[in-house]
Amino acid sequence: MRDTQFFLRWMAAAAAAVEREADRLTELDSPIGDADHGSNMLRGFTAVGGALDAEAPAAPGAVLQLAGRTLISTVGGASGPLYGTLLRRTGKELGEAAEVSDEELRKALYAGVGAVAQLGGAAPGDKTMLDALVPGVARLATSYRAAADAAENGALATVPMLARKGRASYLGERSIGHQDPGATSSALLFGALADVADV
C-alpha cells in the first residue's frame, strides 16, 4: 500500500527532475513553441513543494489535489491546467483513503489522463504530452519502471509527428523533427514515480 509519504516523495522527486531538466525542456520548446516549458514547470513544481510543506495534506488524494490546484494557479501556459487537471482528477479518484493500492493508483491515473485528453481535446499521435501519458498509464499494470520506459519511448516517438494541438500546431509541417516538450516532462513524472516506487 502507498501512503501519504509516498505521494509527497513522488512530488518531491518530480520537482527535482523538473529542476534538473528545466533547461532542456525550455530548449525543446524553442523550435516548436515559445521557449518557456522548463520555466513553467519549474515555477509550478517549486510552488507545489511550498504548498505541500505549508498545508501538510493528510491523505494521498489530498496531496495530488493540492499539487494540481497549485499547478493551475501558478503556471500560465497550457501545461499548467493540463498537468493540474491530471493531478487533481487522479487525487479525486483516490478519495480520502489514508493508503491506496498500486491498482487503485493505476486506475486513478488512468482517469487523470482521460481528463487531460478531454480538457485539451488531443489524442495520441497529436504530438502532445498524451503521447507519453497514454503509453505510460497503459504499462502501469506491468510495473512503475515499465510505465516510465513506455512514457520515455512515447516522448521520443513524438519527433516525427506533426503537431495537431497546442502552440506547435501553428507550425504545421515545420513541427516535424522535434521532440515535444510536454511529452518529455510527462516522462519525467513517470520516471519520478518509478524512482520512488521501486526502492
Residues 31-50 that bind Mg ion (CB under 5 A): 33-34, 36-37
First-to-last C-alpha distance (Å) of the chain: 14
Q: Is 198 in the site for ligand ADP (CB under 6 A)?
A: no
Nearest approach in angstroms of CB 65 to Mg ion is 25
Nearest approach in angstroms of CB 66 to ligand ADP is 20
Cα 116 to Cα 79: distance, rounded to the nearest angstrom? 10
The SS3 assignment for 99 reads strand
HSE at residue 112, side-chain half, CA atoms within 13 A, is 30
Nearest approach in angstroms of CB 6 to ligand ADP is 27
Cα 184 to Cα 173: distance, rounded to the nearest angstrom? 20
Q: Is 71 in the site for ligand ADP (CB under 6 A)?
A: no
Helix residue ranges, H only, the chain: 4-32, 37-55, 60-74, 79-94, 102-120, 130-139, 144-156, 181-197
Residue choice 8, 62, 130, 196 for contact with ligand ADP (CB under 6 A): 130
Nearest approach in angstroms of CB 27 to ligand ADP is 12
Q: In this structure, what C-alpha cell is assigned to residue 151?
A: 512514457
Q: Candidates 6-14, 60-68, 137-145, 161-169 — which segment interacts with ligand ADP by CB under 6 A?
A: 161-169
- Per CB under 6 A, residues contacting ligand ADP are 29, 33-34, 36-37, 40, 77-79, 82, 120-122, 128-130, 165-167, 180-183
- Per CB under 5 A, residues contacting Mg ion are 29, 33-34, 36-37, 77
